[in-house]
Amino acid sequence: MTAVEHRRLMSQPSPANPKPDQPGVHESARRDKLRKIIRMGIDPWGSRFDQRTHIGDIRARAGEIKFRSEAGQYLEIPDVDGQPDLDFRQWLQQQGPGQLEGPAVRAAGRIVLQRKAGKLRFVDIQDWTGKIQLFIGKQQVGDADFELAENFDLGDIVGVDGQLWRTKTGELTILAEKLHFFCKSIEPPPEKHHGLQDPELRQRMRYLDLTYSDGVLQRFLQRTRIVQSIRQTLAQAGFCEIEGPTLHTIAGGAAARPFLTHHNALDMPLFMRIALELHLKRLLVGGIERVYELGRVYRNEGISPRHNPEFTMLEVYQAFGNYETMMDLTERIITDAIDAIGGGYQLPYGDQQIDFTPPFARKTYDQLFQESTGVAPDDHVGVREYAQRLGLEIANRHPDVIKNEVFEHQVEDRLQGPVFVIDYPASICPLTKRKADQPQIAERFELFIHGMEIANAYTELNDPDLQEELFKTQLDGMPEEDSMARMDHDFIRALRHGMPPAGGLGIGIDRLVMLLTNSPTIRDVILFPLMRPESSSAKS
């Protein structure tokens, strides 16, 4: 980046305050209430609140609510939530005089819905485990707290001490005895029936999407569980997590264009990493026999429903393993992750169903090629003609590269899977060891699910001379940005010191999460996907 570009970037107006002009009706109404709360002697920005129970746990105690008759006898109440036809109001009348008694509870959450009925207010609050209704009666909480409740707005964060209880309609409710106030929301929330619909706003204002869109918070919590499960599976298998550098002097390990950045003090260009591979293999050389990194990589490529410029990648290396070791591990990582989020191995994806029951199918590259195209994979002329019919670029290209173009166009999209595609042509896999008895075949697999490449694994090449030669061949044949790898002399030097034979595996975490959470785009599983800045001409 030039100094001029840098200054331009730094001087861009912040989008945080797009409307410095007069506050609108909503903001002034909310600021009025804010002032009233302060006048009541209450800190509108709250403080520590101990001994609170999560709403989900409170709801689980519904069974403890009893009916206490005037004679002092306790009576079980019917399962209101389990019987939608039950008229709870009628049931209460039949019991004669008495009242409901439930456990004392303390909750806090954001106000997502309010209903006012004279000297009575119903307020639905929500925390990250669920939602519950508060019954706030002037008589029950007293004048001061009721005045506080009159200054509640949708979006405020409040707390309550009260009794777990049911209203006459049977709704599980906290009968408020004491109110607390934690935060005033100055901005109004989205529309209460539809929430945020505009995908642009949902991504820019993810905090609103998380709070007000059904299933969004759950989906991101599931992502966390999946990642935790992966770490746990690898830890149990004896793998060691490390953190490699994200700033590289050579962007290697994958075929992708890197982001370029600059170190000022060293006055040196740097690349954001495009893969984890080469540093992890250096650690195999260093004796870390089972090693992995689960972290962000950056690729300066296009954006699509399946691509974000930064995404999360898992790479695993196991000394004395091979690609078959990695296949078993991949299956375990994925099935453990599914166990971690529950719901079984039949997962819906869009209008389809994906069966993750292990073992996943294993088919050779050539076998799938033949099945799908009807052309013999070693028939160079036939493959070339087939590629021509598809309109693919074939001039001056290696027969295996042409074959792979055909494979990517005709086979990959149709692999509903999960299916391990195994035994790739060696010429398109420069970092892969060949089969001992079939040197034209690389010991590699890719896992396809729903037409998406989810995992990629090799028996790693540890012959330094062959590795260097293959790097060179790759670099010779193509313009630099097309090449499968860039020459990394230090990596070759590491190999010359001796790397044990090993299996290596890469898994695209975002795509795996997409499949396991039934998310149609990668942006649905990335909290803050890359977006252009909001300009002054943009809406909102």
All residues at 6 or more sequence positions from 49 whose CB lies less than 8 Å from its CB, including other chains: 106, 108, 159, 180, 182
What span, in angstroms and rounded, lies between the C-alpha atoms of 513 and 308?
Answer: 14
Query: What letter does residue 270 receive in the DSSP assignment?
Result: E
Task: Give the shortest CB-286-to-RNA separation in angstroms.
Answer: 26
Task: Give the shortest CB-268-to-RNA separation in angstroms.
Answer: 25
Q: Which is nearer to RNA, 363 or 496 (CB)?
A: 363
Q: Identify the CA nearest to 33 among candidates 136, 120, 155, 115.
A: 155
Task: Give the shortest CB-291-to-RNA separation in angstroms.
Answer: 21
CA torsion sign for 421, 422, 427, 431 is positive
The one-letter amino acid code at 430 reads: P
Task: Give the shortest CB-208-to-RNA separation in angstroms.
Answer: 8
Q: Identify the CA nearest to 425 among candidates 478, 375, 377.
A: 377
Task: Give the shortest CB-60-to-RNA separation in angstroms.
Answer: 19
Q: Identify the CA nearest to 503 among candidates 448, 422, 443.
A: 443
Q: Which is nearer to RNA, 190 or 418 (CB)?
A: 190
Task: Give the shortest CB-266-to-RNA separation in angstroms.
Answer: 28
Q: Which is nearer to RNA, 341 or 512 (CB)?
A: 512
Which H or E run contains 315? strand 310-319
Task: Give the shortest CB-47-to-RNA separation in angstroms.
Answer: 25
E strand intervals along 386-451: 419-425, 441-449
Angle among Cα 459, 461, 464 to the nearest 5 degrees reads: 170
CA torsion sign for 57, 63, 67, 72 is negative
Report the residue count for the chain.
540
Task: Give the shortest CB-308-to-RNA separation in angstroms.
Answer: 5
> Per the structure block, which two tokens stand in for 20?
């410095």
Task: Give the shortest CB-390-to-RNA separation in angstroms.
Answer: 10
Task: Give the shortest CB-46-to-RNA separation in angstroms.
Answer: 20
* Residues 121/149, Cβ–Cβ less than 8 Å: yes
What span, in angstroms and rounded, lies between the C-alpha atoms of 173 and 133?
Answer: 5
What span, in angstroms and rounded, lies between the C-alpha atoms of 236 and 232?
Answer: 6
Which H or E run contains 136? strand 130-137
Q: Which is nearer to RNA, 144 or 376 (CB)?
A: 144
Q: Which is nearer to RNA, 89 or 497 (CB)?
A: 89
* Residues 152/160, Cβ–Cβ less than 8 Å: no
Task: Give the shortest CB-203-to-RNA separation in angstroms.
Answer: 6
- Measure the N-to-C terminal CA separation of the chain; round to a whole number of Å: 30
C-alpha distance from residue 220 to each of 125, 135, 351 (Å): 21, 31, 22
- Count of Cβ atoms closer than 10 Å to residue 464 Cβ: 17
Q: Is 44 exposed, middle or buried (0-12, 13-18, 19+ CB in 10 A)?
A: middle
Does residue 419 sit in helix, strand or coil? strand
What span, in angstroms and rounded, lies between the C-alpha atoms of 177 and 136?
Answer: 8
User: What's the 3-state SS for 348-388?
Assistant: EECCEEEECCCCCEEEEHHHHHHHHHCCCCCCHHHHHHHHH
Task: Give the shortest CB-12-to-RNA separation in angstroms.
Answer: 12
